[in-house]
Amino acid sequence: MRARATILGALSSIAVFAVGWQLGADGQQSETTTSDTAAGSAPTSTVTPSADAGSSTATPAPTPSASASETTTSAVSGTFTGTSVHTRFGDVQVQITVQDGILSDVTALQLTDQDSRSVSISNRAAPILRQEVLSAQSANVHSVSGATYTSNAYLTSLQSALDQAGL
């Protein structure tokens, strides 16, 4: 009888592990899929510079570029502030600098700062995210492992700033 309990226990534990593993893998997959579609839809959105930004903290300074003749799209310059995104470890908000339609800089105005752990995680993640975003010129980048909350909020705020800039 003890043997039966052990075998049953082992088998059902393996089943539970398999389910847990699968859920973990699924979760990761759906996460990437949603961020893919979100990023994918960004370029198709309107290119008109939006002065009517929803966020009150936004500082839209769209100045149509003089050298717009080369491209059909109107190249924008200025700084745009993304929406503030709330996470369980604190709020995250980024500001972008755009020059002639090119994303030239990302500044984190606020990062997850609930406790010292959150601060150290965001301090580690922010430079990596900035680097990746600048080279990808979009919010369609991988989140930093071990900093999922910070990354997701960072990229969400970034996307809203990019939308304002019309990038």
Partner 1 sequence: MATDTAPLSRAATFRTDDTVARVRRVRTRRRMRAADLMVVAVWLSVAVAISLWLAYGGMNQVTDPASAITALGIVTGLVGTDLILVMLVLAARIPAIDRVFGQDRAMALHRRLGRPALSLILAHAALLTVGYAMSDGSNVVAETIGFLQSKDLLLAYLGFGLLVAVVVTSLVAVRRRFSYEAWHLIHLLSYLAVLVAVPHQLSAGGVLAEGTGQRVYWLALYVLAFGSIGVFRFLVPMIRSARHGIRVAGVEQVAPGVVSLHLTGRNLDRLHTAGGQYAIWRFWTGATWWHAHPISFSAVPTATTARITVRDLGRGSAAIGRVRPGARVSIEGPYGVFTDAHRVAPKLAVVAAGIGITPIRSLLEHSPLSPGEATVVLRGTDSTQSYLWSEIGALPSMRGNTVYTMLGARPPGLATWMSAEALSRGVTITSAFPDLLRSDLYVCGPQAWTDLVIRDARAAGLREAQIHVERFDW
Amino acid at 79: T
- Contacts of residue 79, Cβ cutoff 8 Å, sequence gap at least 6: 59, 61, 95, 96, 97, 98
**Residues in contact with partner 1, total (CB under 8 A)?**
31
Distance CA 114, CA 92 (A): 11
Number of helices (H), then strands (E), in the chain: 3, 4
Which residue stretch of 8-16, 49-57, 78-86, 151-159 sits at the interface with partner 1 (rule: CB under 8 A)?
8-16
Q: Is 19 in the site for partner 1 (CB under 8 A)?
A: yes
| Residue 139 CB coordination number (10 Å) | 27
Instruction: Pick from 34, 149, 156, 166 the residue near partner 1 by CB under 8 A.
Output: 149
Contact criterion met (CB below 8 Å) for 115 and 137: no
Between residue 73 and residue 112, which ones bind partner 1 under the rule CB under 8 A? 88
Give the contact letters, 121-140, x = binds to partner 1 (CB under 8 A), - = no: ---x----------------
Binding residues (CB under 8 A) for partner 1: these are: 1-2, 4-6, 8-10, 12-14, 16-17, 19-21, 23-25, 27-28, 88, 115-117, 120, 124, 145-146, 148-149
